[in-house]
A and B are shown apart, each in its own frame.
Chain A
Amino acid sequence: MDFASAQVIGAGLAAIGVGAAAIGVGNVFGSFLESALRNPAAADGQQGRLFIGFAAAELLGLIAFAVAMIILYAR
């Protein structure tokens, strides 16, 4: 296998991590909504924590994306 095709396959494999992070972000918002609907009065106070969880989950997906880009544009 030559370098260019290995590069593209590697970048594609690295991009799987973005999908995994999508599951994580969906989980964060889904769980928040589920519990917010049970106790709407307490929901507003937890919005900061919601975004912290979102940021932590999203960061890992973005790192996966960065790795894919590094592999794709490596010389």
Chain B
Amino acid sequence: MAAEGKIDPMHQFTVEPLVPLNVGGVDLSFTNSSAWMLVTLAIIFGFMAMGMKRQLVPNRWQIAVEGLTGFIDNMVRVNIGPEGRKFTPYIFSLFTFILVANLLGLMPLAIIPGLHAFTTTSHFSITGVLAVMSFSIVLLIGFWRHGLHFFSLFVPHGTPKIMIPLIAAIEFISFMVRPFSLGLRLFVAMIAGHILMEVFGSFIVNGFNAGGAVGPAVSVISFLFIVGVAALELLVCAIQAYVFALLTSLYLNDAINLH
């Protein structure tokens, strides 16, 4: 961040290669994005491993893990039904990965010099892959279970004959837009929050540097504002992870039970 008031909120999203690696003209570098994904996985693995001792009288950690798994299990059971049990691991992985990656990006790790938290979920290449994964599972399950009958998804029950072409076209478009909306929602929500915090964080610094009567006042107001925004962002992290998992389970419900 330049000192003389130039705000560059997009800089925090740069992907930098840590270990350059080039295989046959394809850039396979180990980037800061991959590094933070590994940290995310390590945290999830540690969290789960600590709570999987299967004690008869659970300690606090085991209760936390059981609460998380029970929450996802309940969501899948309510939205898909008993047949959805086999998708619980996938939805659980999605939820925990997105939640931990979101929260890691918010951690104030930059107070340690040289360390910058990187939000892996703030890139469409990551969230898009997650969304395409969900979408292809829906397609595979739908065609595997129902064959060509899966196309009846585009014609809701009780549609008048004359309306079928129009309704089918609209339903088809809304079906094909799903992977984009799923990935776009998560990545834009993350980007928006981080840009907001970066801009107001710069207001604090620039306000004090400007001096005079107005500058420090702006800084203090920005600081109070950013405390509220940080709390809101924590909420948004959890909500976006929840919405992603919820929508995935709803789409799976469409494919398994055909409405």
Number of interface residues of B (CB under 8 A): 18
Total number of A residues with any Cβ neighbor in B under 8 Å: 13
- Measured in the bound complex, the distance between the Cα atoms of B184 and A30 in whole Å is 25
Q: Mark A30-66, 1 if CB is under 8 A from B, else 0.
A: 0000000000000000001001101100110011011
Known A-B contacts A52-B247, A73-B10; the reply to A58 vs B185 at CB < 8 A is yes
Any A CB within 8 A of the CB of B78: yes
A59 near B185 (CB under 8 angstroms)?
yes
Number of A-B contacts (CB under 8 A): 37
Instruction: Pick the interface stretch among B48-56, B138-146, B238-246.
Output: B238-246
Rounded to whole angstroms, the CA-CA distance of A54 and B246 in the bound complex is 12
Q: Binding site of B, secondary structure by majority: helix, strand, loop or mixed?
A: helix
The answer to whether residues A59 and B192 also contact, given A51-B242, A52-B246, A52-B247 and a CB cut-off of 8 A, is: no
Please list the residues of chain B having a beta carbon within 8 angstroms of any beta carbon in chain A: 10, 75, 78-79, 181, 184-185, 188-189, 191-192, 195, 239, 242-243, 246-247, 250
Query: What is the interface of chain A, defined by CB distance below 8 A to chain B?
Result: 48, 51-52, 54-55, 58-59, 62-63, 65-66, 69, 73
